[in-house]
Amino acid sequence: MSERSIAEARALLLAHYDAHKRAMPWRETKDPYAIWVSEVMLQQTRVETVIPYFQRFLARFEGVRALAEAPEADVLALWSGLGYYRRARMLHAGAKHVVREHNGALPADIDALKKIPGVGDYTAGAIASIAFDLREPVLDGNVERVLSRLAAMPGDPRAKTQRKSLWDLARAFARDPRAGDVNQSLMELGATVCTPASPRCLLCPVRAHCAASAAAEPERYPEKPPKKAPRAERWTALVVRDERGAFWLGPPPAHLDRWKGMLVPPLALDGAALDGLRDGPVIAEVVHVLTHARMQITVRAASFIDDAAPAREGSFVALDSLDALAIPKVTRVILDAVAQAGEESTAVASSRKKASIRPRKGRAKKGSSPPSRT
């Protein structure tokens, strides 16, 4: 695209953004910390899902220092259900870095922002442009799609050559006093008009500057390779309950970083045995799909063998306490399956004596679990 075409498209984008931008709480502030939190939460997560998490997070951790000083378990608890928990851990680590290196204030410098743990080119550009009005570009999935179509750019957008071209084009769009709004207008257009499938080209403010639309093939771009199917995994989840009906939850297997610092039922991959536990009847078969893995989970009732309970790291947790703890969605999926199946198959365990299986009448009410960036 020529400089003139970019300038004209930029003006049209800003006018459209001013008239049609969606209301979002992080758009009501220039606070770098709030913008940082929102950008991390919005990675691979829908806007409507993020809003309540964002509001609760800022109510609990009002600033960088509050976040840095909080236990990781508290941070993960507020993130529970949002998924991609590495984001929360890196945000926590990043806050500690900002306190240590910048006295708790996010730096208004792109290079310094990129040195914060978990802050890459995109997040640094978003904070710099939106919070500090620096003319820095962003390139997330939405912007990548919009720019690929405007330029009708062939090839895999993740390949080195195409990636550089996209960043160069994003940088050209950001050369404006309202760089933050320009960046957000590109993201907004990709989320609401220039969508992956069935883009609404007739409503697009920059249609006259779009090479893909002119060729009547907008959905051709970006030319991403087919996604790999998630690998299949077979798991066993063992459900142990005490006399009160509380569930035994503890840390995930040592070799699994997936839910590090969070609480799950005893889990075993590919039929591996779990020390100190006796399998009981099958309660349910459930599927939990992650970005790179499809977990087929056999949920079994179980009991502790003799006095094995105190030797295992974890504790019995009542259902009404889950919201205050760091619980990944897979835990809720498993416990929901137990509730759906009813209590007749669950085991009741004692930490000091062998547990027994007690059938119970009735059916528990189905539980609920909290629901990519759009």
Q: Return the CATH number at 201.
A: 1.10.340.30
Q: Which SS3 state, helix, strand or coil, does residue 5 take? A: helix
Q: Which residues, 6 or more positions from 105, have their beta carbon under 8 angstroms from its beta carbon?
A: 32, 64, 98
pLDDT, one tens digit for every residue, the chain (374 residues): 999 999 999 999 999 999 999 999 999 999 999 999 999 999 989 999 999 999 999 999 999 999 999 999 999 999 988 888 899 999 999 999 999 999 999 999 999 999 999 999 999 999 999 999 999 999 999 999 999 999 999 999 999 999 999 999 999 999 999 999 999 999 999 999 999 999 999 999 999 999 999 999 999 999 988 888 889 999 999 999 988 889 999 888 877 777 888 899 999 888 787 888 888 899 999 999 888 889 999 999 998 887 666 667 888 988 888 888 888 889 999 998 998 887 444 443 333 233 332 333 333 333 333 333 55
Q: Is residue 164 part of a domain?
A: yes
Of 220, 239, 254, the one marking the end of a domain is 220
Is residue 171 one of the residues assigned to a domain?
Answer: yes
Which of 39, 136, 144, 188 is the catalytic position?
39
- Inside any domain, residue 362: no
Does residue 330 fall inside a structural domain?
A: yes
39 labelled catalytic: yes
Give the per-residue pLDDT at 227: 81
Q: Are residues 257 and 309 in the same domain?
A: yes
Question: How far is CA 5 from each of CA 11, 16, 140, 148, 172, rounded to the nearest angstrom?
Answer: 10, 16, 22, 15, 11
295 and 175 together in one domain: no
Is residue 363 in some structural domain? no
Q: Of 220, 252, 274, which one is at a domain's C-terminal end?
A: 220
> What DSSP character marks residue 277?
E
Q: Are 331 and 265 in contact (CB under 8 A)?
A: yes
Residue 286 bridge partners (DSSP)? 297
**Cα–Cα distance, 338 to 319 (Å, whole number):** 12
Ordered DSSP codes for 180-215: HHHHHHHHHHHHHTS-SSS--GGG-TTGGG-HHHHT
So what's the pLDDT on residue 120?
A: 95
- 186 & 210 share domain: yes
- H/E stretch holding 130: helix 121-132
Domain count, the chain: 2
Domain coverage including residue 190: 3-220
The token pair at 127 is: 């904070």
pTM of the model: 0.77
Q: Which of 190, 220, 250 is the last residue of a domain?
A: 220
Predicted local distance difference test score (pLDDT) of residue 308: 63
What CATH number is attached to the domain comprising 243?
Answer: 3.90.79.10
Are 216 and 308 within one domain? no
| Co-location of 206 and 282 in the same domain | no
